[in-house]
Structure 1
Amino acid sequence: MKTEKFSFTGHAGHALAARLDLPDGPHLATALFAHCFTCGKDIAAARRIAARLAGLGIAVLRFDFTGLGHSDGEFENTHFSSNVDDIVLAAKALSDRGMSPSLLIGHSLGGAAIIKAASLLPDTKAVVTIGAPADPAHVVDNFREAVPRIRAEGSAEVRLGGRPFRVSHEFIKDVEASDLDTVLGTLKPSLLVLHAPRDEVVSIDNAARIFMAAKHPKSFVTLDDADHLISRVADAEYAADVIAAWAAKYVELAPPAPPPGAPEGIVRASEADPRGFLQDIQSGPNHHTFADEPLAYGGTNKGMSPYGFLAAGLAACTSMTIRMYARRKGWPLDHVRVDVSHDKVHAQDAETGTRDRIDQFRREIYLQGALDADQKARLLEIADRCPVHRTLEGSSEVVTVLAE
């Protein structure tokens, strides 16, 4: 994943800091991510979800609202409506780059702001909320004891997440005046509501209210025992995978055509999480899957191992080769199944004359149909003509260069 620093002008004329996470492979769509109240673009949930979506071909812009993180301006002078304005301006900045966002994602109060902003962005095809309140005024519960002082003095300093923030009376009036129910009732983009049943900051009844207020198409998925900040890696990855799978139904994810005359293409492996072994595997512009290691070897077991892919290549090539030959001969082959296992054996067991260990692929071929003994024997011989089989049996050269 490539990450670019990105900046644009916010609602009050201040420079807002952002990061644009780009896919290593084809760029299939663009998403805009709005963070939670007093959080920032670099919180774990935003980074991890953006990374997983980028691995699936979706570029993601995440930014700091005015007065937060690395963005200029004063938080005291912001409110819910100004957050909505910042989202609209972020979308415009992406559009100016030719990357108009079709997917909007909002976490917590950012989810409420995303719903409101979606009504102002006609290119939006899909909206996702994560742990969002049904009423923006819900955020006031974080500093309820300070509200009388804020109303009396115009503003006051409160502590949120262990940090001091100055909240204005204008902020309270703005969130209390916000009405999401009306917006949800006329929301045109498809809606996905993600919420954890055990969320202790924004209870799950908020998700129910959002879901019921919106019209179809809409979907609801629980995040099981995730916390409000989606702080665990597994929860963030799950949320990203759900978002990507769901969005594919509503957002145009058609990949670009390969260059004219190009070969079959490149197979690219990109780390999904540098702390483990999970890899995003992109084969040319059209195919994506995962590679991983088993739990016993420090992986997360979310994809086949490298040797598993090698065995899969042999099994698939064998089956295809047998099918092509039987089809050409017009033989009654109803079904082919090829089971391949991999192991290390002593070379002397393979009669090579050395004591080194070599790779052994055991291949069992199952043929169904009204085939006679001679036809089965011939198809077994044809299996050895599988190109992958010949590659594994022959000598191969791997040329490695360092990319600049």
Structure 2
Amino acid sequence: MPTQQITFPGHAGTQLAARLDLPEGPVLATALFAHCFTCSKDIPAARRIAGRLAAMGIAVLRFDFTGLGHSEGEFANTSFSSNVTDLIAAAQYLATRGMAPELLIGHSLGGAAVLRARGGIPSVKGVVTLGAPFDPGHVAHNFAGALDEIDTRGSAEVSLGGRPFTISRAFVEDIRSATLGTAIADLNAALLVLHAPQDAIVGIENAAQIFKAAKHPKSFVTLDGTDHLISRARDAEYAAEMIAAWAGRYIDLSPPAPPPGAPEGILRVSEVSPDGFLQDIQSGPDHHAYADEPLAYGGSNLGMSPYGFVSAGLGACTSMTVRMYARRKGWPLQGIRVEISHDKVHAQDATTGNPSRIDQFTRVVHLQGELSAEQRSRLLEIADKCPVHRTLEHGAKIVTRLQSHPAAA
């Protein structure tokens, strides 16, 4: 997944640091991601969701709000309202590149911010919240012990996530006065609410309030067992998959015409993370799968192995070929099941004469229906004529080249 490191001016004119995660192929749509309170654009949930959407053709801009991460400015001078303005500035930047966002995604307080910002971003067709509060003032519980000092002195330094932050009276007053009910009711976009029932930071009742305030189309997905930061890789994968599947219903992800010689388009495989072996497989905008290795081989076992996919291709092609022939003949074939096993077996190399090991695919074809012995025998012959069978049997030429990209951040 190519990533561009960029900056753009925020609400106060200071430069905000961002990453633009791009698809390997054409950009079919663009999403804008808002991170949680005092977090950054690089939290695991943001990275995973951006990677999954990029795999299906959606570019994702994730940025650090003013005074956070690598962005310029003073956090002490920011507020919930300034975060909303930063989001609108990010959308305007994308529009100048011909990539006006159609999807807004917000995590925690970032979720509240995208709900408010949607009114200032007319290109948006869908909004997603993850663990978002219905009342932005909810975040005050993070520094409740310092509220008296903030009210008295105008500001106080608090520790959040082990880091010091200065919280101003203006920030507290802004979140206390911010309400979302009207903004949600007037969203005029599809809404997806994701929330964990066990969320100890932002309770599940917030999701219920957001959902109740919104008009249809609206959807809710429970992130059962997930912590507030969606820190576990498996939970981030699930959230990303839900967002990707939902987004395709509301955003046009029609790909351009496939290149000559590739009538099915280009299948793209993208590494999910440098850790493990999990891979995103995207074939056009509609078809997604995971490839992985078993736990015993250092994988996370979230998808079939590469040889599993080869076996699946052989089995599917066999079944389709047999069905096409029986349908053309009008034979009473009621059902087909193909079982494939793969192994390495010893064989004599035809060119060198040296003992070697070759791949062997064992295929068992089950045919259901009132078929004669002659019909069953003929269908077994037809199974050997499936195109994938022939490709595996005769071999194929594979041409590999290295594609260079601009240096990723």
How big is the shift at 1:399? 4.1
**Residue range with higher mean Cα deviation, 266-275 or 164-173:** 266-275
Match of 1:217 in 2: 217
Question: 1:197 aligns to what SS in structure 2?
Answer: coil
Deviations 1:106-133 (Å, cap 9, x if unpaired)?
1111111110001222221111111111
SS in 2 for 1:391: helix
The one-letter amino acid of 1:386's match is C
Contact 1:26 1:285 in 2 (8 A): no
Is 1:94 the counterpart of 2:94? The answer is yes
Q: What does 1:78-93 align with in structure 2 at a 5 Å threshold?
A: 78-93=78-93
Corresponding residue for 2:407? none
**Contact 2:56/2:285, CA 8 A, preserved across alignment:** no
Q: CA separation in 2, counterparts of 1:80 and 1:325?
A: 64
Q: Could you tell me how far 1:81 is from its partner in structure 2? A: 0.7
Aligned equivalents of 1:48, 1:393: Cα separation in 2:
38
* Mapped pair 1:298 → 2:325: no
Q: Is the 8 A contact 2:33 2:105 kept in 1?
A: yes
Query: Could you list the runs of 5+ residues in structure 2 that have no partner in the other structure?
Result: 405-409
Q: 1:52 to 1:264 in 2, by over 3 A?
A: closer
Q: CA deviation at 1:393?
A: 2.3
Residue 290 (structure 1) shift? 2.1
Query: Do structure 1's residue 105 and structure 2's residue 105 form an aligned pair?
Result: yes
Deviations 1:203-234 (A, max 9, x none): 22222222222222222222122211111111
Question: Which amino acid letter does the alignment assign opposite residue 189 of structure 1?
Answer: A
Q: 2:169 and 2:123 mapped to 1: Cα distance?
A: 34
SS at match of 1:248: helix
Once the 2 structures are TM-superposed, how far is the Cα of residue 252 of structure 1 from its aligned partner?
Answer: 2.0
1:3-52: per-residue Cα shift (whole Å, max 9, x none)?
10121111111111110011113423211111111111112221122122
| Secondary structure of the corresponding residue to residue 333 of structure 1 | coil
The match for 1:378 is 378
SS at match of 2:199: coil
- Residues 196, 204 of structure 1: 8 Å contact kept: yes
**In the alignment, what sits opposite 1:151?**
151
SS of 1:312's equivalent in the other structure is: helix
Distance 1:30 1:88 in 2: 14
Offset at residue 288 of structure 1 (A): 3.2
Change (3 A) 1:366 1:138: same
Moved more, 295-304 or 125-134: 295-304
For 1:298-330, what per-residue CA distance to the aligned partner results, in whole angstroms no more than 9, with x for missing partners? 222222211111112222222232233334444
Residues 105-164 of structure 1: per-residue CA shift (max 9 Å, x gap): 111111111100012222211111111111111111111222222222222222222211
Q: In the TM superposition, what are the counterparts of 1:323-402 in structure 2 within 5 Å?
A: 323-347=323-347, 355-402=355-402
Q: Distance in 2 between matches of 1:395 and 1:143?
A: 65
Partner of 1:37, secondary structure, is coil
Partners of 1:119 and 1:187 within 8 A in 2 = yes
User: 1: distance between equivalents of 2:189 and 2:34?
Assistant: 17
> Does residue 1:24 correspond to 2:34, yes or no?
no
Distance 2:39 2:219 in 1: 26
Q: Distance in 2 between matches of 1:332 and 1:222?
A: 45
Cross-structure match for 1:3: 3
In structure 1, distance between residues paired with 2:262 and 2:370: 42
Tell me by how many angstroms 1:395 deviates. Answer: 4.3
> Which runs of 5 or more residues in structure 1 are unaligned?
none
- Which deviates further from its counterpart, 13-22 or 364-373? 364-373
Measure how far apart 1:86 and its partner are.
Answer: 0.5
> SS of the counterpart of 1:170?
helix
Match of 2:119 in 1: 119
Q: Is the 8 A contact 2:55 2:268 kept in 1?
A: no
Which residue is 1:183 aligned to?
A: 183
User: Is 1:41–1:69's contact at 8 Å kept on the other side of the alignment?
Assistant: yes
1:274 is matched with 274
- 1:286 is displaced (CA, Å) by 5.8
**TM-score normalised over the length of structure 1:** 0.92
Residue 37 of structure 1: aligned partner: 37
Report which stretch shifted further, 7-16 or 202-211: 202-211
Corresponding letter in the other structure for 2:9 = T
User: 1:252, 1:342 → 2: CA distance?
Assistant: 39
Relative to structure 2, which stretch is displaced further, 43-52 or 233-242? 43-52
Q: Offset of 1:90 from its aligned partner? A: 0.4
Change (3 A) 1:254 1:359: same
Q: Which moved more, 1:37-46 or 1:75-84?
A: 37-46
Contact 1:258 1:285 in 2 (8 A): no
The range that moved more, 189-198 or 312-321, is: 312-321
Q: 1:100 to 1:391 in 2, by over 3 A?
A: same
Matched-pair contact (CA < 8 Å) for 2:158–2:165: yes
Q: In 1, distance between residues paired with 2:391 and 2:142?
A: 63
Number of matched pairs: 401
Distance 2:190 2:79 in 1: 26
Instruction: Percent identity, please.
Output: 68
For residue 16 of structure 1, give the secondary structure of its aligned residue in structure 2: strand
Contact 1:25 1:282 in 2 (8 A): no
SS of the aligned residue for 1:122 comes to coil
Q: Name the CA distance, whole Å, in 2 between partners of 1:22 and 1:342.
A: 36
